[in-house]
Structure 1
């Protein structure tokens, strides 16, 4: 086995020398095949390091003034849907087998972007994983930046488990001109921010038609994070006079996904019950995560969403074999279709989720599968 490993490493070294990447110290700029090979060759050097980014000095207080100028504002063309493509669970890594399965993921993302033609790409966590991600984060940043459109990443549970902390990963992504990420108050994690979708009027004014709230799924102070969401919702309702929807994106599902599934799924007849407008499948355990005190992750957020009166959608990633979407107590809870195959997959379940926003908010959700090669619609979920 050792001889085979030595031969394999020699071949990689020879190929990397041919590509001009062996011995490079510029890890973040190595992309594609060069990045995968260079990561394997420099494994020991990379893993031995710990890369720490700069912590945000933002401190949020509920008395803070809500300023639209401090949010990201994207324009929706009048008479045309604003299109979001959600990508989740890409699972890029530096030197293990995921460095090579990432080639398939890259091609699938490029195919999806070409087919969907999104105005915004949201990336719902587990972007990178395993003990070394220094190459991987630069590699995937370059990929999303190559499309020349805004993209909004958030962290999952795997991103920061290796040699790069959340701040370092965020620094790399935020260095890209089209990345919309903000770190926010560090007590609430890294990556709590707001994107407003606005449509211009003939008189030169503009109306917000949708507010996207991006949330870190593992905030140190979860109660404060929920208070921040309430502050966002209250101020959005005030500014828009409750005329626009609020949608939440994060990585890990709420415990209400379990409640919704239990209520909507008829296990005896193996079908969805009427009254929940349910679509899709549940093929693995719903892992809503637990806080250190044993309570469900983001416990209380669902109630805050209901209290807002305008939060109608919640999107997550995390479970690779689930893609169901259920209306529960006035809010549609949706698992986005996963694209990474390295951490569990199911036939037809590799792809992304298209979210279409009209003048009155989200009007369609489509799971786009790439399992057969071309992009096909696995689920078409009407929301109006």
Structure 2
């Protein structure tokens, strides 16, 4: 049956072709060929997105690679190509692309300096120029902006053909959506992209008002159940939750996994790859733990939900810039996304991205890819 497009969809098609042409013009000839080949392979992504589907096709002959970045947090001024922060970001991201050849880039929050209109424009332009589909979610710093401002930014993201994003139900925040990875018409895995909001007030034992970071609002629990049920009905056997703020369970996992004798502040990445820093049953863990875990103060219940449904095998969170551990806790990989660049605050030894490799039966591997940026410092 031929594909029949409405007038609006036809206009989007021709608009996209014009946009791709503009994107490719300034590139050197080899880069243009690479982008043309890429877009030929992946053009269905953009058509399906505008027909209310977010489904990316996986090549049956290779793994589908996702490069996750986090906490870029540059200002409009810092996004200037001549600024050191932008040079580090550009070098880091392009090095990661050369090493991993991603099919999709996800960015799990704190995209740029909050409430800075031009900064979000510069952020989107930076990722458009890479020529690879990119899927952002908002972090707590993004959510510090007024809701109407964030809504405007979300609408703007939707005008970028390479951006994969949906606003979702406003009662759940801004930016809750599912990206399915399909092979030969079957959904083999999925990314559940969730808004983790900002902070919520609570009263402590002394009657004082304090604030706790958030993960899921109440309606997101039902939404998550619905998405998992739909994925199971399609025969999909695994999913990955990507959000900005770590779950409450990250604290329990770290406490259980690291040996008490380890000096977490001075431990190196190389040392984290050895078994000497990990307790029994956590020997396959890796990564650094130099920041406090700024998760919700009280158990958010999300980890219990994941265990109950038995579908999500990986969680990726950002937020704490000096953490990048991956710990398998009760059968679920709790991963801190490696911070990308020097925005806001950073550790010179923690720079890069987190990689998900998806095969024909779901996620086959999750790992950290570090990029040395010391030559810029």
Shorter-chain TM-score bucket reads 0.7 to 0.9
Q: Distance in 2 between matches of 1:93 and 1:269?
A: 36
Q: Distance in 2 between matches of 1:264 and 1:353?
A: 20
Q: Does residue 1:262 correspond to 2:255, yes or no?
A: yes
- Equivalent position of 1:17 in the other structure: none
- Equivalent position of 1:283 in the other structure: 290
| 190-199 vs 146-155, greater mean Cα deviation | 146-155
Q: Distance in 2 between matches of 1:109 and 1:133?
A: 22
CA shift, 1:70, in A, is: 4.2
Of 151, 159, 162, 2:142 maps to 159
- Equivalent position of 1:143 in the other structure: 126
Superposed counterparts of 1:92-111, under 5 Å: 92-95=74-77, 100=83, 101-111=85-95
Q: Distance in 2 between matches of 1:330 and 1:267?
A: 22
Kindly tell me: are residues 98 and 372 of structure 1, through their superposed partners in 2, closer, same or farther at Cα, counting changes over 3 Å?
A: closer
CA shift, 1:280, in A, is: 0.7
- Equivalent position of 2:320 in the other structure: 319
Superposed counterparts of 1:7-86, under 5 Å: 70-86=52-68
Q: Is the CA contact 1:314–1:332 (under 8 Å) kept in the aligned structure 2? A: yes
Superposed counterparts of 1:113-124, under 5 Å: 113-124=97-108
CA deviation map 1:75-116 (0-9, x unaligned): 111121000000111102134x67642342133222322332
Q: Does residue 1:168 correspond to 2:152, yes or no?
A: yes
CA deviation map 1:324-371 (0-9, x unaligned): 011111111000110131322223211111211111211122312222
What SS class does the counterpart of residue 290 from structure 2 fall into? coil
Q: Is the CA contact 1:86–1:353 (under 8 Å) kept in the aligned structure 2? A: yes
Q: Distance in 1 between matches of 2:333 and 2:71?
A: 21
Q: Distance in 1 between matches of 2:332 and 2:291?
A: 22
| 245-254 vs 142-151, greater mean Cα deviation | 142-151
- Equivalent position of 1:33 in the other structure: none
Q: Distance in 2 between matches of 1:336 and 1:93?
A: 21
TM-score normalised to the size of structure 1? 0.71
| RMSD of aligned residue pairs (Cα, Å) | 2.2
Kindly tell me: are residues 332 and 373 of structure 1, through their superposed partners in 2, closer, same or farther at Cα, counting changes over 3 Å?
A: same
Q: Distance in 2 between matches of 1:328 and 1:366?
A: 16
Of 228, 231, 253, 2:223 maps to 228
Q: Distance in 1 between matches of 2:373 and 2:121?
A: 29
Q: Distance in 1 between matches of 2:341 and 2:62?
A: 31
Superposed counterparts of 1:224-373, under 5 Å: 224-240=219-235, 243-269=236-262, 271-276=277-282, 277-290=284-297, 295-296=298-299, 299-372=300-373
CA shift, 1:159, in A, is: 1.4
Segments of structure 1 that go 5 or more residues without pairing to the other structure are 1-68, 201-205, 375-384
What SS class does the counterpart of residue 231 from structure 1 fall into? helix
Aligned residue pairs total 291
CA shift, 1:234, in A, is: 1.5
Q: Is the CA contact 1:211–1:244 (under 8 Å) kept in the aligned structure 2? A: no
Structure 1 runs (4+) greater than 6 angstroms displaced: none
